[in-house]
Amino acid sequence: REARAPRAAAPDHPAALPMSSPKKTRVGVLAIQGSFAEHCAHVTRAGGEAVEVRKAEQLAGCSGLIIPGGESTTMANIARRWNLFEPLRDFQARGGAVWGTCAGLIFLADRIGKGEKQGGQELLGGLDVTVDRNFFGSQIDSFETKLPCDVPGDESDDKDFRAIFIRAPAILSAGPDVEIMAKYVLPEEKKLETSVEEIIVAVKQKQLMATSFHPEITGDNRWHALFVKMASECAPYDAIDEKAKTEATKTEIGLINPGGLPVFTDNVVAGPAYK
């Protein structure tokens, strides 16, 4: 019988298995109206996983949720028709991070002080602020400006942001636990009209954040980077399992590839605020 070669001894330290890449923070973007596609692009650029949310099941595994601009009454009506209000409130109650921009700010507010639609409108609530739905006027009064903001984690030398206000709301008052991140100093004619020197346009309250303006339609990614970080510190939503999400997604037509849009650049700057 032939002699067999001796079996090689097991190494004292077996080769380490290749490490899997860290799991990305999943951020849902309410995709029933408004600039949800642009938000998805910025979330992806900030290192998160963007998910369009049109059904409650699509909240599964999300640690954050962005409510984009649009028309707050229309958003509320669609959310009610699509049975989204209760799941959205549950997501927030379980500690998920939520950021509302423009109409999303109205949606998150606890109170509407001025501009409420006749008969009222349903709000998601949770943010201890009072808002004026149309403080800055109609669509023709939209504008952009450089706005100094106090954004946690922003280590850049330039603390100004390109802020685009489109038929924007404003925050009339904020509760004691609300952190004010930005105020806008009003032009002289608006001061005379409102008897107010400046108005609150960005706030944060624990895991909730809101802005009157639209960071998603600029090339500045700092707001989205902050929100992805906020979401990463929250537990993924587990009231709905991944299987239910997969089944729900099969029955809808996706409007875009999340994050597939180009991110706007700020090479061209318009408006007297930049002169």
Express each pLDDT in 140-155 by its tens digit.
888 899 998 888 877 7
Number of neighbours of residue 188 by Cβ within 10 angstroms? 7
How many residues are given for the chain?
275
Express each pLDDT in 79-118 by its tens digit.
888 888 899 999 999 999 999 999 899 989 999 887 566 5
Q: Which of the following is catalytic: 38, 40, 57, 102? A: 102
d(CA 42, CA 31): 15
Q: What is the mean pLDDT of residues 20-36?
A: 85
Q: Which of the following is catalytic: 38, 49, 57, 216? A: 216
Q: Which two tokens stand for residue 168?
A: 């924007």
Please state the pTM of the whole predicted model.
0.80
Look at residue 233 and tell me whether its pLDDT is greater than 90: yes
Catalytic status, residue 39: no
Catalytic status, residue 216: yes
Catalytic status, residue 62: no
Helix-helix angle 85-93:72-81, to 10 degrees: 100
Tell me the CA distances in angstroms from 90 to 87, 153, 193, one per residue in order. 5, 28, 40
What per-residue confidence (pLDDT) applies to 270? 37
Q: Which of the following is catalytic: 42, 62, 149, 214? A: 214
Look at residue 11 and tell me whether its pLDDT is greater than 50: no
What per-residue confidence (pLDDT) applies to 72? 76
